[in-house]
Structure formats: C-alpha cells, structure tokens
Amino acid sequence: PDGRNILTQPDYIDGNPDLIKPKKLLNPVKASKSHQELHRELLMNHKRGLGVESKPELQRVLEHRRRDLLIKQKKEEEEAKKLQSPFEKELLKRHQRLDQLEKEQEKQEDHAPEFIKVKENLRRT
C-alpha cells in the first residue's frame, strides 16, 4: 500500500493473451481542432514570454476609455438626480401632466365626428 500510487491495479492478468486490453478513451475536447489550435497558440505565446492576460496596447487603452466614459456618465446622472431641487421636481411633474393632457385631447379630437372639427375651425375664424 504505497501512498503515492493512486491508480487501482487492473483485475485481469497481463499474461493472458485471450483477453482484450482496454484502450484509453479519447477526450472529445482535446481531440477537437479548435482546442489543438488554441493549445498551440498558448504554447507559442508562452515561449515568446507573452502572458495569457496580456492584450494589445490599443485594445487596453480603448477599453480603459470606454470604462472611464461609462463611469463619468453614471456620476453625472447621479449628480443630476441629487441636485434637483423640490421646485425642479414639481416643474417636471407639471410638465409631464401637461404632456399627458395634450395627448388625451389629441386622442379625443381624433375620435370626434368631422362636423364638430369643422365647427371648431369656424369659431376660430
């Protein structure tokens, strides 16, 4: 009982020629062409001294700019929400109510008969 030997011993005798010896199954992932190409590329990069996480400088700079831009936009939105005074909030609510009333009036006018529309136009002139 050696602690280093983790594999179990086969329960057949190696000397018996009548037995068919089992073959090791192929791993479909390792057998795939894309996996082999990726592994070859990783080995080449390792030999050159390039790390797995290293990206081209241009790509890193562009990602950094995009991340900074998103952070800046989020901060501006948060500041805009914080800086709204109660007066500005009330104005915004009134503006939304007026827009809603205008939309409702337009819907009512669209459903009105033609003679009512003509009569309203005559009153205006």
Task: For residues 84 and 91, give the distance between their C-alpha atoms in angstroms, rounded to a whole number.
Answer: 11
Give the pTM: 0.31
Cα–Cα distances in angstroms (integers) from residue 72 to residues 25, 42, 81, 123, in the given order: 54, 36, 14, 54
Report pLDDT for 70.
97
Report pLDDT for 52.
59
Question: How do residues 50-74 score in pLDDT, each as one tens digit?
Answer: 765 667 778 888 999 999 999 999 9
Give the number of C-alpha atoms closer than 13 A to the C-alpha of residue 115, restricted to the C-beta side: 0
Find all residues with CB under 8 Å of 118, minimum gap 6, and list them.
Answer: none
Report pLDDT for 80.
80
| Phi and psi, residue 112, nearest 5° | -70, 150
Report pLDDT for 6.
62
Residue 52 near residue 42, CB atoms below 8 Å: yes
What single string gives the DSSP state of each residue in 101-118? Answer: HHHHHHHHHHHS-HHHHH
pLDDT range class, residue 82, cuts 50, 70, 90: confident
Report pLDDT for 53.
67
Residue with token string 């827009």: 99
